[in-house]
Structure 1
């Protein structure tokens, strides 16, 4: 695995967050989608980020357990 710095926008606070994402090497990449759990210092929650593209999964796609009133 390779560690890469990334920047993403926290979906809860809107803050720009710097993080380290562990990306799979070329040998590990396949058709399966791999997501990394990244702690967010802006909202103190975890976000799921696609390990290859760095795209953040919107909280609405995670289902009822991620919803907050």
Structure 2
């Protein structure tokens, strides 16, 4: 794991399950990264800065 890697947990919008994922170093011009979700096998977009799903209002 690199110095910039960090673990995040997000809730899969399809299954409602909590999913753990490691965010690695990405190019600086990308604000979101695609994550293959092991809970539903779909791709979700994660905000690199907050670790939240695209569109998540953070209730």
TM range (shorter): 0.7 to 0.9
Question: Which of the two has greater helix per residue?
Answer: 1
Q: How many Å separate the matches in 1 of 2:30 and 2:49? A: 8
Q: How many Å separate the matches in 1 of 2:43 and 2:30? A: 18
Shift of 1:53: 0.9
The CA RMSD over aligned residues, in Å, is 2.0
Shift of 1:22: 2.3
Q: Identify the match of residue 7 of structure 2 among 5, 8, 27.
A: 5
TM-score of the superposed pair, with normalisation by structure 2: 0.73
SS in 1 for 2:51: coil
TM-score of the superposed pair, with normalisation by structure 1: 0.64
After the TM superposition, list the runs of 4 or more consecutive aligned residues in structure 1 that deviate by more than 6 angstroms: none
SS in 1 for 2:24: strand
Gaps in structure 2 of 5+ consecutive residues: none
- Structure number with larger C-alpha Rg: 1
